[in-house]
Amino acid sequence: MAIAEPDKMISCIGCGAVVPAIDGPTHAYIGASPGCWAIYGEVLAKEYSDYRFAPVHRLTVDTYAVQHPGKCERRAIQSVAVHLIGLYVTLECGFDNARAIQVIKNAADCSSSFSWLEPPVSLGTMTVLDIHRVGDDSDEHKRLVTEWARTTWAAWSHHHAQIRQWAAL
């Protein structure tokens, strides 16, 4: 872990993971604490730097986004919707990245029909910390990202019918 762990740890405001209580940037509408956002940045840097991680990069992005839904405002509503659509078409429909991206783009064109989905009490049993701890083992990384995506998608089960409907637009 490149991020120094300070004496104080906090629960992320999005996913609930216990992360370093640091000052730093976050995202404009993804609801993450600075420590969690920094850890996510390290995971993304690893995925961008090594082609072996490419097959699960979309799952990483989609899963992180829906575990950090933010507040009920237009950008967050659109973000959660398109990232849940990404999880749906990848995990349930088995679409490859190119086809998943096309479905997401088509649905995003109708984003005015999206509405706020009340996040589940639990956003899944895993967080970005589980992925961050893996290190450079690409097979284990891919396995855990897929498991993380599946548990997170399952956590949003109350909204699956709505997501399927939006994906079909």
Say if CB 70 and CB 132 are below 8 A apart. Answer: no
| Whether residue 5 has pLDDT greater than 70 | no
User: For 66-123, how does the pLDDT look when each residue is reduced to its tens digit (9 = 90+)?
Assistant: 999 999 999 999 999 999 999 999 999 999 999 999 999 999 888 888 999 999 999 9
Q: Which pair of structure tokens corresponds to residue 46?
A: 């690893």
**Shortest CA distance to 126 belongs to which of 38, 39, 64?**
64
Residue of 64, 87, 71 whose CA lies nearest to 160: 87
> Mean pLDDT throughout 136-159?
97
- The 8-class DSSP code of residue 90 comes to I
The answer on pLDDT for 8 being more than 80 is: yes
Separation between Cα atoms, residue 64 and residue 149, nearest integer Å: 9
Q: Average the pLDDT over 55-74 and give the result.
A: 96
